[in-house]
Amino acid sequence: MNFLYRLKLILFLFLLLILFQKYGFAQNTDKNGTSLSGFVYDLSNGESLVGANIYINELKYGATTNTSGYFIIPDLPTGMYTFIFSYIGFQTEKREIKIEKNKDNHVEVKLKPEAIETDEVIVSDDYERVSEKLFSKPVSKIELNPAQINNIPRFVEADLLRALQTLPGITSLSDFSSALYIRGGTPDQNLYLIDGTDVYNPEHAFGIFSTFNTNAIKKVEVSKGGFGAEYGGRLSSVLDVTNLDGNRNEFEGVANISLLSASTTLQTPIGSIGSLSGSLRRTYIDQTYAKWIDEVPDYYFYDGNLKAYFDIDRNNKL
């Protein structure tokens, strides 16, 4: 009997503790739960801007957008504030926004592209402690945009994996292979992602071509070490590719022809609810060289990708 009484008492105290924690959390959320969220887009085509800066002039802090152009600043005091939205290559925009309690504070900002004009730049070197470097930025992380990839010297046509082979710490087995050997690891120790989805075969034609169409890429992140546990147990590196969401204002298309293949990338809005982007590539060796030269095999490949971007509501995108 005493045992049952003690067991009931322990359960009662446990439930009381849970209710007290929930009540205290609700009170804290009600006091400091006012937040501002939103999206930052490119005015010319509606593409979400990755890494755009949002700064509150009065509070001296802010946030940056993620790969979907989304940001959120929690625990804001109520009142009127000046928010500064900025991104390299775009005009800075200032907005007076009133933060109100118990209200859905949401904003969507479209920045206008602008050419950057600066004075002369002086590059100098200064000593920085290793510990400060480790805490100031991620270890061995490289970020590339499509313009940087296309400007890297290349043979025949632009190729993402061959462009990465020119970077420090990354090498290839031979001039004919696009496989990546990063910090001594083998290619099967690399993790390849497109918009968060695993890519199990990132190469074509026994490693000569990669499966990534550079015209459809919005951002590339390469982590050569020190990446988080969310990427699993890969030992060597993580290659995270983010493709274009699609032009949300008008139809847009790009076509490329090289010595080995032809490709196209198309973008179009889907009414007012989202956008669609897709790319297709095919080699034509079987239709040209193979018909003239007997030693050339009758071989070809094609690949493509399709991405749809939808606005579920103001706070959710798919």
Query: 50-65: b or e for each residue (b if 16 or more CB lie within 10 Å)?
Result: bebbbbbeeeeebbeb
Local confidence band at 229 (pLDDT 50, 70, 90 cut-offs): confident
Cα 97 from chain centroid (whole Å): 28
Q: What is the DSSP string of 195-217?
A: TTEE-S--EEGGGTEES--GGGE
Residues 251-307 have pLDDT tens digits of: 888 888 877 778 888 888 888 888 888 888 887 777 776 677 777 677 777 788 888
Domain ranges across the chain: 1-31, 33-111, 129-243, 246-311
Closest alpha carbon to 170 in 156, 155, 151, 189: 189
Residues 39-95 have pLDDT tens digits of: 999 888 888 888 899 999 888 888 999 888 899 888 888 888 999 999 988 889 998
Token pair of 72, please?
């959120």
Say if residue 90 is exposed, middle or buried (CB neighbours under 10 Å; 0-12, 13-18, 19+).
buried
Q: How far is CA 302 from CA 92, 131, 186, 239, 280, in A?
A: 42, 47, 26, 22, 7
CA pair distance 124, 137, nearest whole angstrom: 20
Q: How far is CA 171 from CA 161, 174, 177, 178, in A?
A: 10, 9, 10, 9
SS3 63: strand
Q: What is the pLDDT, as a whole number, of residue 53? A: 92
- Token pair 């730049």 is found at 121
This prediction's pTM? 0.63
Look at the domain 33-111 and name its fold.
Immunoglobulin-like (2.60.40)
Token pair of 42, please?
């490119």
Query: Cβ(270)–Cβ(310) under 8 Å?
Result: yes
Residue spans of beta strands (DSSP E) within the chain:
36-42, 53-56, 61-64, 70-73, 79-86, 93-99, 105-111, 141-144, 170-171, 181-182, 190-194, 197-198, 203-204, 209-210, 217-223, 237-243, 252-257, 261-270, 274-283, 302-310
Q: What value does the mean pLDDT of the chain take?
A: 77
63 vs 134: which has the higher pLDDT: 63
Same fold, 33-111 and 129-243: no
Say which amino acid occupies 6: R
Q: What is the pLDDT, as a whole number, of residue 33? A: 57
Local confidence band at 214 (pLDDT 50, 70, 90 cut-offs): confident
Q: How far is CA 154 from CA 2, 134, 164, 175, in A?
A: 81, 32, 11, 12
Architecture of domain 129-243: Beta Complex (2.170)
